[in-house]
Amino acid sequence: MDSTAAIGILGGYGAVGSAVVRRLHRAGIGPLLVAGRDPARAEACVASLDAAPTAVSAQAVDLWDASLDSFLTRCRLVVNCAGPSYRVLDTVARAALRHGVDYVDAAGDDPLHARLSAQDGGTGAWAAANRTAVLSAGALPGLSGLLPRVLLDRAARPARLEAYLGGVAALTPAAAGDVLLARGPEHGIPSAAWENGQAQDRALEPRRGLTLSAFPRPVTAFPFLSTEAVRLAETAGIGRVHWYTVFGGEHLAEELAMSWALDSTDTADLVRAADADVRRHGSWYGQEFRLWDGTDGTDDGPPTLTLTLRAEDSYELSGFLAATAAQHVLAGQVKPGVHFAADVLDPSSTAQSLATDQVAELDMA
């Protein structure tokens, strides 16, 4: 592949995409091509960067017309930050494969993985073409599946894992769409737990007024056994996994429950509810993982190991992991095929990079 071709960032002026652009630009990786439907915003993103160390340009791209193909002819890798991902699905990824372009998706969870894995009848089209697709390269899913592996690598006999993920943040319309549609068995099971090697329905209740190191104030944690959590449990052979979505405010949780009950697809109310929580509680995000090492045959008492992530901005965290995944693909460190980021990025080195990055605080005890 032509090494002078661009690294395209689709949706590159959005909350996640602009973080990816800044990171790759600072690392001297390029040339970069910032793309999206609004050329003025793409140009503004380019203008906000320093002149050095790598060339950056902008291009107008609409996913639903020929401009997507025109964009991909200029790329050797595309980082897809366009959303909402439930609507984009495999549109960009399939076009990338047609043009022989490697692919990183800051979202793109199980539904996209299933579509790409089934491409050409499940014959492994990406590996056969010697091309790589890395999905779920964001904060959640992504870091949420990668960081607990740091603890698992240090445990002799992991028996129980608890995860708490969330906080308070403004929602972009695209992010609100993904939150709204992130339900159904392809995403996870509300109130379920992983017990004795299988999902158990209605096993857990919400935890209210919970105080955790990852969050600056008491939070409400709703049990949600995500497909990412199930994959992690199966891979590591953990007997018990309790996985929680955390809300630091009241408005978003209430509005989301109402939207699901009414089967609404309107994102405006979710955006307003998230903004109301931010006005009242500020903006913050966290992930906390607690692991019990069952070398004594039990998982009672305090956790053996704990990893805590604190950040102001989950979008910046997603930008961190998407840029990291792109760098690994460009360096030939991810084999051809379709992968989840948490399965192919090294947990220890990624955590070390994150610990020294201003985007987050990372502690382990």
Q: What is the pLDDT of residue 260?
A: 79
Residue 184: its pLDDT value, please? Answer: 65
pTM of the model: 0.93
Q: What pLDDT, on the 0 to 100 scale, is given for residue 65? A: 92
Structural domains present in the chain: 6-138+317-357 (3.40.50.720), 143-314 (3.30.360.10)
- What residues have CB less than 8 Å from 118, skipping those under 6 apart? none
> Average pLDDT, stretch 68-90?
91
Please, which contacts does 357-363 make with residues 24 or more away whose CB atoms are closer than 8 Å? 357/320, 359/311, 359/313, 359/316, 359/317, 359/319, 359/320, 360/309, 360/310, 360/311, 360/317, 360/320, 361/308, 361/309, 361/310, 361/311, 362/307, 362/308, 362/309, 362/310, 363/213, 363/307, 363/308
pLDDT digits (tens, 9 = 90+) for 275-301: 999 999 999 999 999 999 976 656 778
pLDDT digits (tens, 9 = 90+) for 302-316: 899 999 999 999 999
Output the pLDDT for position 229. Answer: 97
Q: What is the mean pLDDT of residues 237-255?
A: 93
What pLDDT digit, counting tens, does each position of 172-225 carry? 887 887 777 776 677 889 999 999 989 999 999 999 999 999 999 999 999 999
pLDDT 10s digits, 5-61: 899 999 999 999 999 999 999 999 999 999 999 999 999 999 999 877 789 999 999
